[in-house]
Copies of this chain bind each other. A is one copy, B any other.
Amino acid sequence: MEIALLLYDGMATLDAIGPYEVLRNVPGWEIQTVGPHKGEVRDERGTIALVADNDLAEVTSADIVLVPGGRGNRPLLTDEAMLEWLRAIDRTTKWTTSVCTGSLLLGAAGLLEGKRATSNWLELDELRAYGADPVGGRFVEDGKVVTAAGVTAGIDMALHLVSREVGPEVAQAIQLGIEYDPDPPFDSGSPEKAPSEIVELVRSVSDAARS
């Protein structure tokens, strides 16, 4: 399995690194990082950088493409080189996947037309603009397109993909290897579960960042 992991300036690094740590542990699976430019890619905060080992022209096919999200992807939603790359690589994939607002990029490339999909809960409705049917859930599989909800949901999605491809035993072994036995000190990870004042706080911070 050849995996293309998209990296770009302004991304949320955990969107990529969460699934990466799952997928890299499958025997025989190979991962390549790819970005609009080769080299350092800084996150939306600017304080941490990943390295894209390839530019878009160097990675033209993949069995799995994984598109992370992040506030910095807004300029890419109208970047024709990026959107054309997504359309082209999608023609070669077995699975086209995204985490968080990475699904907006898939949508902008026209890849979610008529599909059920998800995203970060704050941006879920934006998927409608791309002809997608926004649904809830930790991740959504519709045909070969698998979209995950916000940030950490990429870990769950990656375990699902491994299970679909090589079976539950390998997925379970990887889950144990990364000791993914989550036990957050609060139960506040979704707008349905978080206290309403916390939901309003996060929504207002997000709105402020966008305006």
Contacts and interface: CB of A to CB of B under 8 A. Distances in A.
Contact of A188 (B45, B172, B185, B193): B172
Interface residues of A, number: 66
A184 B159 contact: yes
B24 A20 contact: no
Contacts of A189: 175-176, 178-182
A175 B179 contact: no
Given A121-B179, A179-B190, 18 more contacts: A13-B17, A14-B178, A24-B45, A31-B45, A50-B50, A51-B51, A100-B179, A149-B181, A150-B179, A152-B155, A152-B180, A159-B184, A160-B185, A173-B205, A176-B190, A180-B184, A181-B193, A182-B189
Contacts of A12: 21
A34 to B, nearest CB: 12
B159 A182 contact: no
B173 A201 contact: yes
Interface in A47-63: 47-51, 53
A156 interface: yes
B202 A186 contact: no
A52 B205 CA distance: 29
B51 A179 contact: no
A2 to B, nearest CB: 12
Contact of A171 (B5, B150, B179, B185): B185
A191 to B, nearest CB: 7
A178 B151 contact: yes
Contacts of A155: 152, 182, 184
A40 to B, nearest CB: 6
A81 interface: no
A78 interface: no
* Central interface residue in A163, A176, A184, by most chain B CB within 10 Å: A176
A153 interface: yes
